[in-house]
Structure 1
């Protein structure tokens, strides 16, 4: 039983159940909080991660996959579940669940609501009285400056006890005809235009050129999504450049642990980057506007400040050529791969463990129960949030009419750029040319 004396009943509501960082964190933390002695229920749409929730023994409540966001029907369902099951706290992940929980249980039943935002920005219309957990220090400070009252840093957690260098990736390598001496570079992510696509295409170009120059490398792209055809076309082009099948697209793997284990090098961002580190793999963090940066002791402070993502040139420049230089450095040096892989593993165990995150999340639930939000503050939040949400929807409708709308407004790149620029208190990265000290 947890050290907390109050056994809570918690309704967890992830924004989607596709394979991805925020929703995987939601599921893992739901299980970890349950293991601390609480009653946890997961409300979600159908999706690949539902099977994982069932295997964890958590109770589930299904909502429709095809719905408006926010959805009046989902709000009604949530109010009914909270009433019938005696839910103490509702936890929404990303903006639609947070808004729906606020409009339902918070406003109508005075039930505490907390939110997690693992996107690279906090949507401007989110209620400021809802306690938030965010994934980076820059976003935490930006949210406080925007008027949010309670914002806690909760860096994306990793189950370092389940994801370890001891897992064998040999079967997956054999499945795709990868020899024991071939260098496997893996990208494990959703294949979507937002945040991911630029890095996926740069990786294809980089590995294609590396293979053409004689390096025995393979790129594994694990995942699926709306940009699959674009990525597949680029992969085919890279294979033509290399003169052999050097880029392999596996499609979605429900639990890609075998892919992380099979890799020698990880290219990633956000939760995928951290999970790769748990397997003891050297990491190149990818972003947009040409960003890529090798994780070293020198570059670590930047990622702890701004998150596992970036915009613009890294220490080696920008674009596929910079990514290729970092990859070649790792591919040509087994000792460097070992040193940086051990550094990455140690960092995850010491700072990003699931156990630590569950403790922090439990404390936030308890705090939400103890800190009553005045009715007038909730009402003011309602007026501001609904006005902002309505205005945003009208603007996106106009953008869709013009063909300029982004799919995921909570990841608006201009907002990310402003956050990074306004909090630039140190150089973007230290030179990645310096290798870490040898292990003793």
Structure 2
């Protein structure tokens, strides 16, 4: 099968890294796969995997007619059987390129914490958690599959990063336990927890040999940097270290005595044998251990707590026992490594994805015009409301991490 994989962007990030690595793994199963998109840091990973990269034109507003035209031309030139869009902009570009009745199948993966309502219900949808899939099926969407964020275990493993060189490069305290978070500094979803971790580490570091290493960049970098400076002033030493974005974060994972994370970043941390504290929103922090595993398999590696006012206490309660108990750190690190090897391997995910492709390609006529028309009507309402909010100075988050399904009840 000839497949075009179209990530929403190719900067560093969980959804797009999953897209690229799964593309390589599906290719290894015998399919012809290329990656289409705007050039970014992950093009290096595309090339490292031996995948062909075709650059998309500048998108402008999304969905983009110019991108849809380029995608349609690529599909016609290469006789492509299926287009796989990651997140809503590539999905709508693909629908715009191949309106109902065409013979090119479309698959959409949404790794956000909820699914935009304007993705056509006729499209084969892949989500990252059983809870989100359940919510979509209850809403009337029939063609839903789950692929939990996979980990390339040949690329990510306890000896795949040079921890010593990383510690030296960033002048880390060799006598302090190192807590590592690899994440994009986005205002939605992650900033609250990141600021909480900085504040707590700054306080603990006054009497405990601990340091927090934050790997990443993004729109909230200035907020993070200000909080780190304040925490270091409280600690009286360099307890919070910002490395900036790393194209290869494996040395940071390898240097972690304890890892913080959510989603794909959390799972990659487990692949390095680090004990993991899962970060969420509204004060959520919980250690990955046998008693919490079922929760994370349902909601994803994320959660919603009881309110921001409890976040510092929740983080302290999860972190402090690990700081004082080396045996517990080793035990939980080994447990997490077993979990990721048994359930989240890239090979297993690629086999599931290839099956989804085969099913979608066998019935491309299901992409009905009525479903697409309804989806674009919902998008028009969304876009119109966004324009009104902007005009009123009330711009809000629009990446569908803002209203997570995980906050809407339990299994």
TM-score (norm 1): 0.90
Task: State the match for 1:410 in structure 2.
Answer: 400
Task: State the match for 2:111 in structure 1.
Answer: 118
- Measured against aligned partners, the alpha-carbon deviations of 1:346-389 in whole angstroms (never above 9, x if no partner) come to 00000000000000001111111112434xx6111121011000
Say which SS state the counterpart of residue 107 (structure 2) adopts.
strand
Task: State the match for 2:90 in structure 1.
Answer: 97
Is this contact kept in 2: 1:186–1:265, CA < 8 A? yes
Shift of 1:164: 1.1
Instruction: Work out the CA distance in 2 between the residues paired with 1:310 and 1:72.
Output: 37
Is this contact kept in 2: 1:103–1:382, CA < 8 A? no
Do residues 205 (structure 1) and 191 (structure 2) align? Answer: no
Instruction: Work out the CA distance in 2 between the residues paired with 1:122 and 1:71.
Output: 20
Task: State the match for 2:223 in structure 1.
Answer: 230
- Measured against aligned partners, the alpha-carbon deviations of 1:400-428 in whole angstroms (never above 9, x if no partner) come to 12222224342232xx2xx3355413xxx
Do residues 62 (structure 1) and 62 (structure 2) align? Answer: no
Instruction: Work out the CA distance in 2 between the residues paired with 1:203 and 1:194.
Output: 16
- Measured against aligned partners, the alpha-carbon deviations of 1:299-322 in whole angstroms (never above 9, x if no partner) come to 1111111111111239xx921222
Do residues 298 (structure 1) and 288 (structure 2) align? Answer: no
TM-score (norm 2): 0.96
- Stretch moving more, 128-137 or 180-189: 180-189
Shift of 1:197: 0.5
- Among 320, 328, 336, the residue aligned to 1:336: 328
Instruction: Work out the CA distance in 1 between the residues paired with 2:378 and 2:173.
Output: 55
Q: Which runs of 5+ in 2 are unaligned?
A: none
Is this contact kept in 1: 2:275–2:330, CA < 8 A? yes
Task: State the match for 2:13 in structure 1.
Answer: 20
Instruction: Work out the CA distance in 2 between the residues paired with 1:56 and 1:132.
Output: 25
Task: State the match for 1:4 in structure 2.
Answer: none
Task: State the match for 2:153 in structure 1.
Answer: 160
- Measured against aligned partners, the alpha-carbon deviations of 1:121-149 in whole angstroms (never above 9, x if no partner) come to 00011101110110001100111122222
Task: State the match for 1:431 in structure 2.
Answer: none
Instruction: Work out the CA distance in 1 between the residues paired with 2:115 and 2:86.
Output: 12
Say which SS state the counterpart of residue 373 (structure 1) adopts.
helix
Task: State the match for 1:327 in structure 2.
Answer: 319
Say which SS state the counterpart of residue 365 (structure 2) adopts.
coil
Is this contact kept in 1: 2:104–2:364, CA < 8 A? no
Task: State the match for 2:185 in structure 1.
Answer: 191
- Measured against aligned partners, the alpha-carbon deviations of 1:24-48 in whole angstroms (never above 9, x if no partner) come to 0000001111111111111111211
The CA RMSD over aligned residues, in Å, is: 1.6
Instruction: Work out the CA distance in 1 between the residues paired with 2:340 and 2:306.
Output: 26
Shift of 1:59: 1.1
Task: State the match for 1:37 in structure 2.
Answer: 30
Q: Which runs of 5+ in 1 are unaligned?
A: 1-7, 426-440
Say which SS state the counterpart of residue 85 (structure 2) adopts.
strand
**Would you say how many aligned residue pairs link Structure 1 and Structure 2?**
410
